[in-house]
Amino acid sequence: MTIPTGFSQLPAEGDTSARRAMRKVRLLALRELLTWPTRGLSPRVARGLAALQGALVPLTKRAPDEALAIVGGPDVLVQILVHADRNRPPEGLLRELVPHVLFQIGRRGLARHLGEAVLWDAPVARLLDPDGATVTFDAPAEGILADPTGVEVRLADGTAHAVTALPLDDPPRLVRIRDDLPARLALVDTNPLNMEEAHPEKSGNALLLDDHPIEAWRAALADALELIKVGLPGYFPELAHTLDRVVPVGYHAERHFSASYRASPGTIYMSLHPSCLTMAEAIVHEVQHGKLNALTWLDPVLENGQTEWTKSPVRPDMRPLFGVLLAVHAFAPVAALHQGIAAAGHPEADTAIYRRRVAEVRKANADALATVQAVGKPTELGRRVMAAITELEAATSGAGEG
Protein backbone atom coordinates (compact mmCIF):
# COMPACT_ATOMS: atom_id res chain seq x y z
CA MET A 1 0.00 0.00 0.00
CA THR A 2 1.24 3.49 -0.87
CA ILE A 3 2.05 5.56 2.19
CA PRO A 4 -0.21 8.64 2.07
CA THR A 5 0.85 12.19 2.74
CA GLY A 6 -1.28 14.46 4.88
CA PHE A 7 -1.48 17.65 6.91
CA SER A 8 0.98 17.68 9.85
CA GLN A 9 1.90 14.05 9.14
CA LEU A 10 4.00 13.16 6.08
CA PRO A 11 4.41 16.19 3.80
CA ALA A 12 3.78 15.94 0.09
CA GLU A 13 6.40 17.42 -2.23
CA GLY A 14 6.23 21.17 -1.98
CA ASP A 15 4.17 21.12 1.22
CA THR A 16 5.11 24.21 3.25
CA SER A 17 2.45 23.90 5.98
CA ALA A 18 4.94 23.18 8.79
CA ARG A 19 7.12 26.10 7.74
CA ARG A 20 4.11 28.42 7.57
CA ALA A 21 2.90 27.31 10.99
CA MET A 22 6.29 28.10 12.50
CA ARG A 23 6.30 31.49 10.79
CA LYS A 24 2.94 32.26 12.42
CA VAL A 25 4.31 31.21 15.80
CA ARG A 26 7.26 33.55 15.27
CA LEU A 27 4.91 36.40 14.38
CA LEU A 28 2.99 35.70 17.58
CA ALA A 29 6.28 35.72 19.51
CA LEU A 30 7.41 38.98 17.92
CA ARG A 31 4.14 40.64 18.94
CA GLU A 32 4.57 39.25 22.45
CA LEU A 33 8.08 40.70 22.69
CA LEU A 34 7.07 44.11 21.33
CA THR A 35 4.16 44.38 23.79
CA TRP A 36 5.93 42.82 26.81
CA PRO A 37 4.96 45.10 29.75
CA THR A 38 7.71 46.78 31.77
CA ARG A 39 5.71 46.93 35.00
CA GLY A 40 7.08 44.79 37.78
CA LEU A 41 10.59 44.72 36.31
CA SER A 42 13.68 46.17 37.96
CA PRO A 43 14.41 49.68 36.65
CA ARG A 44 17.43 48.75 34.51
CA VAL A 45 15.73 45.72 32.94
CA ALA A 46 12.60 47.80 32.31
CA ARG A 47 14.70 50.51 30.62
CA GLY A 48 16.53 47.92 28.52
CA LEU A 49 13.29 46.25 27.43
CA ALA A 50 11.63 49.55 26.51
CA ALA A 51 14.68 50.59 24.48
CA LEU A 52 14.80 47.21 22.71
CA GLN A 53 11.13 47.43 21.81
CA GLY A 54 11.61 50.89 20.36
CA ALA A 55 14.69 49.82 18.43
CA LEU A 56 13.09 46.68 17.00
CA VAL A 57 10.07 48.35 15.42
CA PRO A 58 12.01 49.83 12.45
CA LEU A 59 14.03 46.63 12.09
CA THR A 60 10.86 44.56 11.74
CA LYS A 61 9.74 46.88 8.93
CA ARG A 62 13.06 47.09 7.10
CA ALA A 63 14.20 43.48 7.54
CA PRO A 64 11.12 41.45 8.55
CA ASP A 65 12.49 38.02 7.65
CA GLU A 66 15.70 38.61 9.60
CA ALA A 67 13.72 39.88 12.59
CA LEU A 68 11.53 36.77 12.56
CA ALA A 69 14.62 34.56 12.28
CA ILE A 70 16.06 36.16 15.42
CA VAL A 71 12.82 35.87 17.36
CA GLY A 72 12.41 32.28 16.14
CA GLY A 73 15.83 31.11 17.27
CA PRO A 74 15.54 28.50 20.05
CA ASP A 75 17.19 30.62 22.76
CA VAL A 76 14.89 33.59 22.14
CA LEU A 77 11.64 31.89 21.17
CA VAL A 78 11.48 29.66 24.24
CA GLN A 79 11.80 32.63 26.62
CA ILE A 80 9.02 34.51 24.82
CA LEU A 81 6.64 31.55 24.68
CA VAL A 82 7.27 30.72 28.34
CA HIS A 83 6.34 34.31 29.09
CA ALA A 84 3.23 34.00 26.91
CA ASP A 85 2.19 31.07 29.10
CA ARG A 86 3.01 33.11 32.25
CA ASN A 87 5.13 30.16 33.35
CA ARG A 88 8.17 31.93 34.82
CA PRO A 89 9.02 35.35 36.31
CA PRO A 90 9.52 37.71 33.37
CA GLU A 91 12.75 39.33 34.56
CA GLY A 92 14.75 36.10 34.41
CA LEU A 93 13.43 35.37 30.91
CA LEU A 94 14.45 38.81 29.68
CA ARG A 95 17.92 38.53 31.21
CA GLU A 96 18.41 35.41 29.08
CA LEU A 97 16.82 36.50 25.82
CA VAL A 98 17.81 40.15 25.32
CA PRO A 99 21.59 39.52 25.03
CA HIS A 100 20.98 36.83 22.39
CA VAL A 101 18.78 39.20 20.37
CA LEU A 102 21.44 41.94 20.43
CA PHE A 103 24.23 39.45 19.66
CA GLN A 104 22.40 38.24 16.57
CA ILE A 105 21.60 41.76 15.42
CA GLY A 106 25.31 42.61 15.60
CA ARG A 107 26.56 39.42 13.97
CA ARG A 108 24.04 39.63 11.11
CA GLY A 109 24.83 43.25 10.25
CA LEU A 110 21.35 44.48 11.16
CA ALA A 111 22.28 47.23 13.63
CA ARG A 112 21.85 49.90 10.94
CA HIS A 113 18.11 49.16 10.98
CA LEU A 114 17.70 49.90 14.69
CA GLY A 115 15.50 52.86 15.50
CA GLU A 116 17.39 53.92 18.63
CA ALA A 117 20.20 52.90 20.95
CA VAL A 118 19.71 49.99 23.34
CA LEU A 119 21.71 49.82 26.55
CA TRP A 120 21.42 46.45 28.24
CA ASP A 121 22.90 47.29 31.63
CA ALA A 122 22.82 43.82 33.22
CA PRO A 123 25.31 40.95 33.56
CA VAL A 124 25.70 38.72 30.49
CA ALA A 125 27.03 35.19 30.97
CA ARG A 126 26.74 33.93 27.39
CA LEU A 127 25.74 34.90 23.88
CA LEU A 128 24.18 32.49 21.40
CA ASP A 129 23.35 32.62 17.71
CA PRO A 130 21.52 29.60 16.20
CA ASP A 131 23.99 29.61 13.31
CA GLY A 132 26.47 28.02 15.74
CA ALA A 133 28.32 31.08 17.03
CA THR A 134 28.46 31.09 20.82
CA VAL A 135 30.44 33.10 23.37
CA THR A 136 30.79 32.09 27.01
CA PHE A 137 32.33 34.63 29.36
CA ASP A 138 34.61 33.44 32.16
CA ALA A 139 33.40 36.40 34.20
CA PRO A 140 30.01 37.81 33.16
CA ALA A 141 30.18 40.81 30.86
CA GLU A 142 28.85 44.05 32.33
CA GLY A 143 26.42 44.84 29.53
CA ILE A 144 25.76 45.46 25.84
CA LEU A 145 25.28 48.64 23.83
CA ALA A 146 23.54 48.49 20.44
CA ASP A 147 22.92 51.42 18.13
CA PRO A 148 22.84 51.94 14.35
CA THR A 149 26.66 51.88 14.21
CA GLY A 150 26.96 48.37 15.69
CA VAL A 151 26.73 46.23 18.80
CA GLU A 152 29.44 46.05 21.44
CA VAL A 153 29.90 44.23 24.73
CA ARG A 154 31.46 45.78 27.82
CA LEU A 155 33.54 43.06 29.46
CA ALA A 156 34.15 42.56 33.17
CA ASP A 157 37.50 44.39 32.86
CA GLY A 158 35.72 47.48 31.52
CA THR A 159 36.91 47.16 27.92
CA ALA A 160 34.41 47.27 25.05
CA HIS A 161 34.48 44.95 22.04
CA ALA A 162 32.30 44.63 18.94
CA VAL A 163 30.35 41.38 19.05
CA THR A 164 31.87 40.45 15.70
CA ALA A 165 35.34 40.60 17.30
CA LEU A 166 34.61 38.41 20.32
CA PRO A 167 36.43 35.06 20.37
CA LEU A 168 33.90 32.26 19.83
CA ASP A 169 33.74 29.15 21.98
CA ASP A 170 36.25 26.54 20.90
CA PRO A 171 35.13 23.81 20.76
CA PRO A 172 31.74 25.15 19.68
CA ARG A 173 28.70 24.59 21.86
CA LEU A 174 26.29 24.15 18.94
CA VAL A 175 27.61 21.38 16.71
CA ARG A 176 26.17 20.71 13.27
CA ILE A 177 25.06 17.08 12.97
CA ARG A 178 24.97 16.74 9.16
CA ASP A 179 25.94 19.02 6.30
CA ASP A 180 22.52 18.67 4.63
CA LEU A 181 20.48 19.84 7.64
CA PRO A 182 20.83 22.91 9.87
CA ALA A 183 20.02 20.94 13.06
CA ARG A 184 22.68 21.09 15.77
CA LEU A 185 23.72 19.04 18.76
CA ALA A 186 23.48 21.47 21.68
CA LEU A 187 26.06 21.58 24.45
CA VAL A 188 24.19 24.49 26.03
CA ASP A 189 20.51 24.71 26.91
CA THR A 190 18.61 27.90 27.72
CA ASN A 191 15.17 26.34 28.16
CA PRO A 192 13.92 27.43 31.61
CA LEU A 193 11.51 24.47 31.66
CA ASN A 194 14.06 21.73 30.99
CA MET A 195 13.71 20.20 34.43
CA GLU A 196 9.91 20.14 34.29
CA GLU A 197 8.88 16.56 33.63
CA ALA A 198 5.51 15.18 32.53
CA HIS A 199 6.65 11.56 32.33
CA PRO A 200 6.31 9.61 35.60
CA GLU A 201 9.48 7.60 35.00
CA LYS A 202 11.84 10.54 34.41
CA SER A 203 13.13 13.46 36.46
CA GLY A 204 13.81 16.27 34.02
CA ASN A 205 16.08 16.76 31.05
CA ALA A 206 19.40 18.07 32.24
CA LEU A 207 22.06 18.29 29.54
CA LEU A 208 24.37 15.29 29.92
CA LEU A 209 26.83 13.61 27.54
CA ASP A 210 27.32 10.81 30.10
CA ASP A 211 31.00 10.09 29.34
CA HIS A 212 30.31 9.61 25.63
CA PRO A 213 32.32 11.93 23.37
CA ILE A 214 30.60 14.53 21.24
CA GLU A 215 31.58 12.67 18.08
CA ALA A 216 29.82 9.52 19.30
CA TRP A 217 26.63 11.51 19.80
CA ARG A 218 27.02 13.26 16.48
CA ALA A 219 27.64 10.00 14.60
CA ALA A 220 24.65 8.25 16.21
CA LEU A 221 22.35 11.15 15.39
CA ALA A 222 23.69 11.37 11.82
CA ASP A 223 23.07 7.65 11.32
CA ALA A 224 19.54 7.97 12.71
CA LEU A 225 18.81 10.86 10.37
CA GLU A 226 20.14 8.80 7.46
CA LEU A 227 17.72 6.03 8.40
CA ILE A 228 14.89 8.57 8.32
CA LYS A 229 16.09 9.73 4.91
CA VAL A 230 15.91 6.14 3.67
CA GLY A 231 12.57 5.26 5.24
CA LEU A 232 10.80 8.61 4.83
CA PRO A 233 12.51 10.40 1.93
CA GLY A 234 9.68 12.94 1.62
CA TYR A 235 9.77 13.72 5.34
CA PHE A 236 13.52 14.26 5.59
CA PRO A 237 13.67 17.66 3.79
CA GLU A 238 11.02 19.08 6.15
CA LEU A 239 13.43 18.55 9.05
CA ALA A 240 15.26 21.65 7.82
CA HIS A 241 12.30 23.62 9.20
CA THR A 242 11.10 21.42 12.07
CA LEU A 243 14.30 20.29 13.80
CA ASP A 244 16.58 23.01 15.17
CA ARG A 245 18.41 21.42 18.04
CA VAL A 246 19.05 18.11 19.81
CA VAL A 247 19.94 18.32 23.51
CA PRO A 248 21.76 15.22 24.88
CA VAL A 249 20.36 13.82 28.13
CA GLY A 250 22.57 10.83 28.95
CA TYR A 251 23.12 7.26 27.83
CA HIS A 252 20.95 4.22 28.52
CA ALA A 253 21.75 0.85 26.98
CA GLU A 254 18.37 -0.74 27.72
CA ARG A 255 15.86 2.12 27.69
CA HIS A 256 15.57 5.28 25.65
CA PHE A 257 14.29 8.66 26.82
CA SER A 258 13.23 11.67 24.81
CA ALA A 259 11.20 14.80 25.41
CA SER A 260 10.05 18.09 23.94
CA TYR A 261 8.27 21.20 25.17
CA ARG A 262 5.37 23.22 23.79
CA ALA A 263 7.32 26.43 24.39
CA SER A 264 10.29 25.18 22.38
CA PRO A 265 9.11 23.65 19.08
CA GLY A 266 12.10 22.45 17.09
CA THR A 267 14.19 21.50 20.13
CA ILE A 268 14.21 17.88 21.23
CA TYR A 269 15.84 16.11 24.17
CA MET A 270 17.26 12.62 23.61
CA SER A 271 19.33 10.01 25.36
CA LEU A 272 21.94 8.06 23.44
CA HIS A 273 21.06 4.45 22.57
CA PRO A 274 22.91 1.69 20.69
CA SER A 275 19.96 1.07 18.32
CA CYS A 276 19.88 3.30 15.25
CA LEU A 277 16.18 2.50 14.81
CA THR A 278 15.41 3.62 18.35
CA MET A 279 17.20 6.92 17.76
CA ALA A 280 15.43 7.47 14.43
CA GLU A 281 12.04 6.73 15.99
CA ALA A 282 12.72 9.25 18.76
CA ILE A 283 13.66 11.99 16.32
CA VAL A 284 10.50 11.49 14.28
CA HIS A 285 8.15 11.33 17.22
CA GLU A 286 9.63 14.35 19.04
CA VAL A 287 9.69 16.40 15.83
CA GLN A 288 6.03 15.47 15.40
CA HIS A 289 5.36 16.71 18.91
CA GLY A 290 6.98 20.00 17.93
CA LYS A 291 4.80 20.31 14.83
CA LEU A 292 1.58 19.70 16.76
CA ASN A 293 2.69 21.90 19.65
CA ALA A 294 3.37 24.71 17.19
CA LEU A 295 -0.20 24.40 15.90
CA THR A 296 -1.58 24.75 19.43
CA TRP A 297 -0.21 28.29 19.66
CA LEU A 298 -2.59 29.06 16.78
CA ASP A 299 -5.55 26.76 17.50
CA PRO A 300 -6.52 24.34 20.31
CA VAL A 301 -6.89 21.44 17.80
CA LEU A 302 -9.12 19.59 20.31
CA GLU A 303 -11.76 21.60 22.16
CA ASN A 304 -11.66 19.09 25.05
CA GLY A 305 -7.98 18.23 24.75
CA GLN A 306 -7.07 19.45 28.24
CA THR A 307 -10.35 18.80 30.07
CA GLU A 308 -11.01 15.18 29.04
CA TRP A 309 -8.71 12.69 30.79
CA THR A 310 -8.21 9.09 29.73
CA LYS A 311 -5.87 6.11 29.86
CA SER A 312 -2.96 6.32 27.46
CA PRO A 313 -1.91 3.38 25.26
CA VAL A 314 1.75 4.41 25.50
CA ARG A 315 2.03 5.73 29.09
CA PRO A 316 1.30 4.16 32.48
CA ASP A 317 -0.47 7.26 33.80
CA MET A 318 -3.76 8.98 33.02
CA ARG A 319 -3.40 11.65 30.37
CA PRO A 320 -5.41 14.58 29.07
CA LEU A 321 -6.90 13.63 25.72
CA PHE A 322 -4.52 15.98 23.93
CA GLY A 323 -1.64 13.83 25.23
CA VAL A 324 -3.18 10.80 23.53
CA LEU A 325 -3.51 12.79 20.31
CA LEU A 326 0.14 13.81 20.68
CA ALA A 327 1.06 10.12 20.84
CA VAL A 328 -0.74 8.93 17.72
CA HIS A 329 0.19 12.12 15.84
CA ALA A 330 3.82 11.23 16.58
CA PHE A 331 3.76 7.47 16.13
CA ALA A 332 1.71 7.24 12.92
CA PRO A 333 4.77 8.60 11.03
CA VAL A 334 6.97 6.22 13.05
CA ALA A 335 4.88 3.33 11.69
CA ALA A 336 5.40 4.80 8.23
CA LEU A 337 9.15 4.90 8.93
CA HIS A 338 9.04 1.18 9.71
CA GLN A 339 7.20 0.49 6.47
CA GLY A 340 9.57 2.65 4.46
CA ILE A 341 12.66 0.98 5.87
CA ALA A 342 11.29 -2.44 4.96
CA ALA A 343 10.30 -1.30 1.47
CA ALA A 344 13.83 0.01 0.92
CA GLY A 345 15.31 -3.34 1.96
CA HIS A 346 17.34 -1.73 4.74
CA PRO A 347 19.08 -4.26 7.02
CA GLU A 348 17.56 -2.52 10.07
CA ALA A 349 14.25 -4.09 9.02
CA ASP A 350 15.69 -7.54 9.60
CA THR A 351 16.30 -7.17 13.33
CA ALA A 352 14.43 -8.37 16.40
CA ILE A 353 13.97 -4.83 17.70
CA TYR A 354 12.38 -3.81 14.40
CA ARG A 355 9.88 -6.66 14.46
CA ARG A 356 8.98 -5.96 18.07
CA ARG A 357 8.58 -2.24 17.51
CA VAL A 358 6.39 -2.67 14.43
CA ALA A 359 3.88 -4.67 16.46
CA GLU A 360 4.04 -2.33 19.46
CA VAL A 361 3.61 0.85 17.46
CA ARG A 362 0.76 -0.50 15.35
CA LYS A 363 -1.22 -1.56 18.42
CA ALA A 364 -0.59 1.70 20.27
CA ASN A 365 -1.61 3.74 17.22
CA ALA A 366 -4.85 1.81 16.78
CA ASP A 367 -5.74 2.18 20.46
CA ALA A 368 -4.83 5.88 20.66
CA LEU A 369 -6.66 6.78 17.46
CA ALA A 370 -9.78 4.92 18.61
CA THR A 371 -9.71 6.83 21.90
CA VAL A 372 -9.41 10.25 20.28
CA GLN A 373 -12.05 9.41 17.68
CA ALA A 374 -14.45 8.24 20.38
CA VAL A 375 -14.34 11.27 22.70
CA GLY A 376 -12.38 14.02 20.95
CA LYS A 377 -14.02 17.25 19.84
CA PRO A 378 -11.71 18.54 17.11
CA THR A 379 -11.72 22.09 15.85
CA GLU A 380 -11.82 22.73 12.11
CA LEU A 381 -8.01 22.57 12.06
CA GLY A 382 -8.15 19.51 14.32
CA ARG A 383 -10.35 17.73 11.80
CA ARG A 384 -7.61 18.18 9.19
CA VAL A 385 -5.09 16.74 11.63
CA MET A 386 -7.36 13.79 12.49
CA ALA A 387 -8.13 13.02 8.85
CA ALA A 388 -4.44 12.78 8.00
CA ILE A 389 -3.66 10.60 11.03
CA THR A 390 -6.59 8.30 10.27
CA GLU A 391 -5.48 7.80 6.67
CA LEU A 392 -1.87 7.18 7.62
CA GLU A 393 -2.76 4.79 10.44
CA ALA A 394 -4.94 2.76 8.06
CA ALA A 395 -2.07 2.52 5.57
CA THR A 396 0.45 1.38 8.21
CA SER A 397 -1.74 -0.79 10.42
CA GLY A 398 -0.80 -4.04 8.72
CA ALA A 399 -4.46 -4.87 7.98
CA GLY A 400 -4.64 -7.43 5.23
CA GLU A 401 -1.08 -8.67 5.67
CA GLY A 402 -0.76 -12.38 5.38
Last residue of a domain, one of 111, 132, 165: 165
* Statement to judge: residues 178 and 158 lie in one domain: no
* Same structural domain, 111 and 159: yes
Q: Does the residue 247 lie in any domain? A: yes
Do 73 and 102 fall within a single domain? yes
Please indicate, yes or no, if residue 219 is contained in any of the structural domains: yes
For residue 89, being part of any structural domain is answered with yes
Query: Does 8 map to a domain?
Result: no
Residues 66 and 108 in one domain: yes
List the one residue out of 253, 178, 170 whose CA is nearest residue 223.
178
Q: Are residues 178 and 143 in the same domain?
A: no
Q: What is the pLDDT along the chain (402 residues), one digit of tens a residue?
A: 689 999 999 999 999 999 999 999 999 999 999 999 999 999 999 999 999 999 999 999 999 999 999 999 999 999 999 999 998 999 999 999 999 999 999 999 999 999 889 999 999 999 999 999 999 999 999 999 999 999 999 999 999 999 999 999 999 999 999 999 999 999 999 999 998 766 555 567 999 999 999 999 999 999 999 999 999 999 999 999 999 999 999 998 888 999 999 999 999 999 999 999 999 999 999 999 999 999 999 999 999 999 999 877 766 778 899 999 999 999 999 999 999 999 999 999 999 999 999 999 999 999 999 999 999 999 999 999 999 999 999 999 987 675
The end-to-end CA distance of the chain, in Å, is 14
What's the domain count of the chain?
2
Q: Is residue 77 part of a domain?
A: yes
Q: Same domain, yes or no, for 159 and 183? A: no
Task: Single out the residue in 145, 165, 185 at which a domain terminates.
Answer: 165
Q: Is residue 385 part of a domain?
A: yes
Contacts of 76 (CB under 8 A, 6+ apart): 29, 70, 97, 100, 101, 104
Residue 331 covered by a domain = yes
Domain boundary at 144, 165, 186, which? 165
Write the burial class of residue 147 (CB in 10 Å: 0-12 exposed, 13-18 middle, 19+ buried): middle
108 and 239 fall within a common domain: no
252 and 330 in a common domain? yes
pTM of the model: 0.95
Residues 216 and 355 in one domain: yes
Sheet holding 118-120, edge to edge: 118-120, 143-147, 150-154, 160-162
Q: Are residues 292 and 266 in the same domain?
A: yes
Indicate whether 326 and 354 sit together in one domain: yes
Q: Which domain holds residue 91?
A: 36-165
Same-domain pairing of 188 and 136: no
Residue 17 lies in a domain: no
